[in-house]
Structure 1
Amino acid sequence: MTQINPQKFAAFAPNALPGTLAALEAAAAKFKLTDRLVLAHWLGQMHVESKGFSTLTESLNYSVDGLMKTFKRSRISAVDCETFGRKQGRAANQNAIANIVYGGAFGKAQLGNDQPGDGWRFRGGGVKQITGRANYREAGHEADPNVLRTDVKASAEAAANFFVKHRCVAAALTDDVKAVTLLVNGGINGLDDRKVRTAAAKTMLA
């Protein structure tokens, strides 16, 4: 099992949920993420995905402007952004937002969301923020998606499994944060932060 210094991890992720370090170490060992460079990339990426390992549930608390900027109009219309986004005095309708941006033709083709309500049911969960029915199925949690949102150990294993199955290890071995980000995120959202966190993980593991 790869050992990470607890004090260094606390500095790396001061707001991590209880049990996170042990869960990450066990998952890294189980899925053979033992190379220090690979481990650093995995930890750096997962740090960003889970907001410093502080949450296992995706927030869709977008403002109207946030929805407009984050998603293309092919994913959510301007009218729906205005209708469901957060405004002064009105909370975001996160359920509706999830079912729109993770549903429809995009959700079916890219995420395997083929049933009404799948967007919300299979919203981001776990350290990796696993999203979509197909990815929950791959992680072994299609029947009970809430496991990834409540169980740190299961969420760490799902994150490691994703990293291996989606060819992230090979990209990590080239030390290319952008390439790893594309595989993890599907885009380059938060690329600068991912570079910073990966560098910090390398320092932690040195």
Structure 2
Amino acid sequence: MLAAVNPSGTEIHHKNILPILNKYTKAYKLKNKRELAHFLSQIAHESNLNAVEEGLYYSPMQMRATFGCKAKNRKSGYNSLTDSCNFGVLREKLWTNESHYARNAENLGNYVYANRLGNGSEESGDGYKYRGRGMIQTTGKDAYRYFQNVHNRQNPDDIRDFISHPELLSTSLDYSVESAFVFWFSKQTANGLKLSDIAKTEGVVRVTEIVNGGQNGLTDRKNKYNAIAPLLNLEQEI
């Protein structure tokens, strides 16, 4: 099943991660087949089932396309032909101070994640410190704090300080998987609907919008879902 959703992964890696996935699938009672297909396809897209951290080394146009523009209807407003924004600029310094942020992961992370997600100012360094890590990209100080609280409550024999050591989510396969489950079962929409409930009944587009905040990587996410769906006796999505 893991080979279907993550064909680039090795057999050895899939054997290593399978007992960890099974452990948390049981702990979180993830039994619904559609939800399981969504969960596996989403984390496979986000991380290839690896313990990873967000790469923030972007060219000027890449960083502006990813972080520079306001979106509309969950779609990017960046215009690659004019290197401008269709719906308004979100982060002006990506144009006016290009050399400071382009191909500089730390500077870019500190800027684009500043003053949100529980992070401090750009100068605090929180943006880069609490960049995305884990199989579904835990991002922002608030998210790391929440994961820390859940982990320590459920694992009193393994108390960890993920605020001081956020890198653990990208160096430990177990914590990386666990963080994805914590995200999945805590994520809600603006009107309070739970991702874990939505994933039981709705399609890849809706689930992707909640996980990603938009539709980035939608084609690959759908392909992965369709690869695993028949193995769970589910219909593929068109």
Q: SS at 1:163's partner residue? A: helix
CA contact (8 A) 2:185 2:196 kept: yes
Q: Tell me which moved more, 153-162 or 68-77.
A: 68-77
**2:97 paired residue number:** 80
**2:152 paired residue number:** none
TM, length-normalised to structure 1: 0.82
1:147 and 2:168 correspond? yes
TM, length-normalised to structure 2: 0.72
Q: Tell me which moved more, 178-187 or 125-134.
A: 178-187
**2:158 paired residue number:** none
**2:200 paired residue number:** 173
CA contact (8 A) 1:41 1:201 kept: no
Post-superposition Cα deviations, 1:90-141, rounded to whole Å, max 9, x if no partner, equal xx1100010011114xx2xxx1112611101100101011100011111113
**Displacement of 1:55 after TM fit?**
4.6
Q: Relative contact order: is structure 1 or structure 2 higher (C-alpha 8 Å, sep ≥ 6)? A: 1
1:9 and 2:2 correspond? yes
**Displacement of 1:10 after TM fit?**
2.9
Distance 2:61 2:232 in 1: 39
**Displacement of 1:142 after TM fit?**
2.4
Distance 1:150 1:12 in 2: 22
CA contact (8 A) 2:51 2:176 kept: no
CA contact (8 A) 2:5 2:41 kept: no
**2:76 paired residue number:** none
Structure with larger Rg: 2
Structure 1 residues not aligned, in runs of 5+: 1-7, 86-91
1:122 and 2:169 correspond? no
Distance 2:178 2:51 in 1: 15
**1:89 paired residue number:** none
Q: How many residues are aligned here?
A: 187
Structure 2 residues not aligned, in runs of 5+: 70-88, 149-161, 188-193, 234-238
Superposition map of 1:1-206 within 5 A: 8-13=1-6, 14-15=8-9, 18=13, 19-50=16-47, 52-71=48-67, 72=69, 73-75=89-91, 76-85=93-102, 92-104=103-115, 107=116, 111-114=117-120, 116-140=124-148, 141-166=162-187, 167-206=194-233
Q: SS at 2:30's partner residue? A: coil
CA contact (8 A) 1:67 1:81 kept: no
